[in-house]
Structure 1
Amino acid sequence: MNKLLISLLVSFGISGFAFAEGDAAAGQDKAAVCFGCHGADGNSTAPTFPKLAGQSAGYIVKQLSDIKGGVRQSPLMMGFAAGLSDQDMQDLAAFFSGLDVKAGETDPAKAELGKEIYVSGLQDKGVAACAACHGPAGEGNALANFPALKGQYAAYVDSQLKAFASGARANDPNGMMRDLAKKLSDAEMAAVASYIEGLK
């Protein structure tokens, strides 16, 4: 069984669907409407919008599909996702996944706690290490559709952790992120989010 077939089977088994490979050049042409929020190089200029550069194609496709289908609530993105075909999503994902993410900086005051949570987790609270799913350098796990986190804005990561904790965001496999996030305090969320922004 070749690597592509294995990848498709794993993607189907975890995320509920498989996707074909997109065309990055076509995706670049289609991405002009995305640039205002996410940047022409996939590195958004506003910390409330996620950086898409370097994100796995499968994860981008899943999020767009979830938003279009109403599984992930995002009133701002819904207007954009609603008109996308499956091929559009694949092409956009191919384009953004091929770009380089720009890392930010970790707040020194939050670095120690943030690193502890990311690398080791919090055993006393039953919080697993972020690195277990998202990789030691935040590179993610494309086969499992676990997103790359490295360099992502702290403000965006913090907002998503809060959304998972409250249940406002509920498109995580088997509620994994919801179960984890609700065990974190606001200070712990802020710390690990800041640590993630500085990952390179």
Structure 2
Amino acid sequence: MNSFQLVLSSLVVACASSLTVHAQDLQGDAAAGGKKNALCIGCHGIKGYHIGFPEVHQVPKINGQGAGYIRSALHAYKAGDRKHPSMRTLAGSLSDQDIADLAAFYESTGTGVTLPAQAAEGTAKAAALVTQGGCTSCHGANLSKPIDPSYPKIAGQHSDYLYVALRSYKTNDKPLIGRGHPIMGGVAKQFSNAELKVLADYVGSLPGEMQTVQRDRVK
């Protein structure tokens, strides 16, 4: 294990112990969450939907994402650790119980597919970058089985979103853009943007459990 991966492992333990508070303090109700997602489906319930901030990219798939990660992300938006303006406003309108319910609902609505135990390697360049970043150390061997509930499944996520998200971890000095996270900040800052693009394209090409469930038409 190299020095970076040793530090990464230490950070995983430290962050996991602090982030599981939100993951365990409230019981989420998936049925209740399904009745609270009117604001969510405006972006996440339209297949192929793109947004233009901070650049044009598809909104992430969240159906089938882990509940612990959705909780962690929404609390980070609410606290301002993630600086996306519309997501921060939305998260700020939610109670802790709302967040728990929404997370439970979205976790319950994945593809249901069985994934391989280990992700295909992809190109030699992609494999080298995955190894350098220690991606499987947190996200699992198939990049869809994270070692802690507060970490996301990433296999099969939209590659353009992944690229924007990875770059955001390198940004700490802008009021409306950036994500504060000690582990991902350390990982992303190792790489050039071109290398992050290779990583994002590779991860996005993998089979995954997440999907976008098309919202019902307004009658």
| TM norm. shorter chain > 0.5 | yes
Residue of structure 2 in register with 1:162 after alignment: 167
Is this contact kept in 2: 1:140–1:146, CA < 8 A? Answer: no
The AA in structure 1 aligned to 2:171 is S
Structure 1, residues 25-58: CA drift from partner, whole Å, max 9, x if none?
1101111221121116xx6633431111221111
Q: Quote the Cα distance in structure 2 between the aligned partners of 1:177 and 1:101.
A: 27
The AA in structure 1 aligned to 2:37 is A
Q: Tell me: CA distance 1:98–1:16, structure 2 relative to 1, closer, same or farther (3 Å).
A: closer
Structure 1 length-normalised TM: 0.76
Is this contact kept in 1: 2:44–2:60, CA < 8 A? Answer: yes
Residue of structure 2 in register with 1:21 after alignment: 27
Residue of structure 1 in register with 2:92 after alignment: 82
Residue of structure 2 in register with 1:171 after alignment: 180
Q: Quote the Cα distance in structure 1 between the aligned partners of 2:48 and 2:78.
A: 21
Q: Tell me: CA distance 1:81–1:144, structure 2 relative to 1, closer, same or farther (3 Å).
A: closer
The AA in structure 2 aligned to 1:23 is D
Which of the pair is proportionally richer in helix? 1
User: What CA RMSD, in Å, does the superposition of the two structures yield over aligned residues?
Assistant: 2.6
Which sections of structure 1, spanning at least 5 residues, go unmatched? 1-9, 104-109, 122-127
| Correspondence 1:116 to 2:120 | no
Alignment of 1:34-183 (within 5 A): 34-39=40-45, 45-46=49-50, 47-100=57-110, 111-118=123-130, 120-121=131-132, 128-141=133-146, 143=148, 145-167=150-172, 168-172=177-181, 175-183=182-190
Q: Tell me: CA distance 1:11–1:89, structure 2 relative to 1, closer, same or farther (3 Å).
A: farther
* Higher relative contact order structure (alpha carbons within 8 Å, sequence separation ≥ 6): 2
Cα deviation for residue 101 of structure 1 reads: 5.0
Is this contact kept in 2: 1:38–1:44, CA < 8 A? Answer: no
| Correspondence 1:199 to 2:211 | no
Q: Quote the Cα distance in structure 1 between the aligned partners of 2:147 and 2:37.
A: 22
Q: Identity of paired residues, percent?
A: 32
Residue of structure 1 in register with 2:194 after alignment: 187
Q: Secondary structure at the match of 2:184?
A: helix
Which sections of structure 2, spanning at least 5 residues, go unmatched? 1-13, 51-56, 114-121, 208-219
Q: Quote the Cα distance in structure 1 between the aligned partners of 2:200 and 2:112.
A: 15
Is this contact kept in 1: 2:69–2:151, CA < 8 A? Answer: yes
Q: Tell me: CA distance 1:163–1:101, structure 2 relative to 1, closer, same or farther (3 Å).
A: farther
